[in-house]
Structure 1
């Protein structure tokens, strides 16, 4: 009997130990290196275009949604054909189509005022903002910026009758003068930096700045150089008076935040457009169109 009881006790202990040990099918305990280990950053720029397309995401599947402000010739504007039809044009729009094609997406352009472009990209309602944007550090928290695709400068514009009135930019820092700049733009920041004592007037569109200059309501206006030169071709009464120093030169595409794959794809497209000569062709064509019959600003209706 004692031997029988001993055997039962031995079997019970063995079963108990087996239960505590678990089976091979149980999930193994996490090691400290497994628990909460951060994923390695993905270098999207090192991917091939086909690999990038496979992981690319946009606001609307299959589409590249771009916000623009069509009052900034030759960047973006409406060219009017012989039949009076308005076609959204400009080298930003040509580049937008190139980027969409490069990424295998359908382009959808949403025209709006300039400050709307900034807010829509910031809110993540669109994929890109293309409106002659300068990659200013103050905008970095709101959006990502592509590589520079066009080098430009900044200018102060007056009317021809006043071209000899001031010999330097500093002379326009006068409380008696009204200086115009587009709302929310780098040009407004330049107005504040260079003519802080003047009456600085913010206007929704560059066309408004030009109109107020021509109408005598403004003494001068800060406008990007290539845009100012485009207006001067169409309105000989305008005069590009002074270059305005600005540490951030060139234009970039605003890309919605936290989409590194899209940013990498846009940069690949820009590099390709520059390399194959498309960008130079777009700029030349846009300048030619901008010298013709155009409409700048949002279309009514």
Structure 2
């Protein structure tokens, strides 16, 4: 009888112990579930708040297409903007494009990029067909009469490029009298060509790629090119070199806006932030790395199907 009672008591105690263990875990599980639900609710609330803030921010600005930020750029200007071929597909990249995407994101707008020849960007901006012009623009006093410009987001320079084989032949601008010298149409470099080589046969071309091609083939003896762009081309065309830096009062690139655009304060705020926290340096480094992959770089306009035109 004692043995039977002992077994019964052991069974009861074991059951009680199991019940106690079970009851102690239940509150913990419930608490964990409640905490997880609260975290998810908090994250959802943050997402909702962020979306609402972006929507509210977007409503504060006037753009040509509601909900979109439309920019014009000339994709023949590595490392500013160019196409990088990824698995056969051309992707528009460059530190100008990264900056434009950041601005659109901060304003709660969808970025829409319109590739345009450089000399047509400011015209499209003036005609109200784009919101911003971002293509390594220098905010010259002449341009500032017609357009507003953002703060400087990249400080570069200007360069005069020759063939490396001609380094001993050309020592100053006077040596280029009556010789063909190239510059991009509608650019600051065209003005520099007219100022520094007034007696040269100045040839304006729409794309920097065309200028470089003419330099390599010997059809141009020299060319005025933005320094960062010149340095990138020289990596891919070692037969070229920078002969010397070109003096220029306005050193740096800014974003062009239509006169009186209400986008200016927000654009400048983003520029200030990316310069301060090093994000702009990251954009530049990434663009330079992609531009160095010369076999997969295309500069110019794509065909009607969005592909690199066959030669």
Q: TM-score range by the shorter chain?
A: 0.7 to 0.9
Larger helix proportion, structure 1 or 2? 2
Q: Report the equivalent of 1:87.
A: 91
Q: Report the equivalent of 1:62.
A: 67
Q: Choose from 73, 78, 85 the match for 1:73.
A: 78
In the aligned structure 2, how far is the partner of 1:104 from the partner of 1:275? 21
Inter-CA distance 223–55: structure 2 relative to 1 (3 Å threshold): same
Q: Report the equivalent of 1:297.
A: 300
Any gaps of 5 or more consecutive residues in structure 1? 1-47
In the aligned structure 2, how far is the partner of 1:86 from the partner of 1:268? 31
1:96 partner SS:
helix
Q: Report the equivalent of 2:130.
A: 126
State how 1:126-275 maps to structure 2 within 5 Å: 126-168=130-172, 170-175=173-178, 177-259=179-261, 261-275=262-276
Inter-CA distance 247–50: structure 2 relative to 1 (3 Å threshold): farther
Give the superposition deviation at 1:237.
1.1
State how 1:2-17 maps to structure 2 within 5 Å: none
Any gaps of 5 or more consecutive residues in structure 2? 1-52, 305-311
TM score, norm. by length of structure 2: 0.78
In the aligned structure 1, how far is the partner of 2:188 from the partner of 2:275? 25
Q: Report the equivalent of 1:277.
A: 278
In the aligned structure 1, how far is the partner of 2:298 from the partner of 2:154? 23
1:73 partner SS:
coil
In the aligned structure 1, how far is the partner of 2:135 from the partner of 2:175? 27
Give the paired residue count: 250
Greater RCO, 1 or 2 (C-alpha within 8 Å, sep 6+) = 1
User: Do the aligned residues in 2 keep the contact of 1:71 with 1:297 (CA within 8 Å)?
Assistant: yes
Give the superposition deviation at 1:172.
3.5
Q: Deviations over 1:90-139 (max 9, x none)?
A: 00000000000011110000001001111111212110001100001111
Greater mean alpha carbon deviation, residues 263-272 or residues 53-62: 53-62
User: Do the aligned residues in 1 keep the contact of 2:57 with 2:108 (CA within 8 Å)?
Assistant: no
CA RMSD of aligned residues (A): 1.6
Inter-CA distance 86–51: structure 2 relative to 1 (3 Å threshold): closer
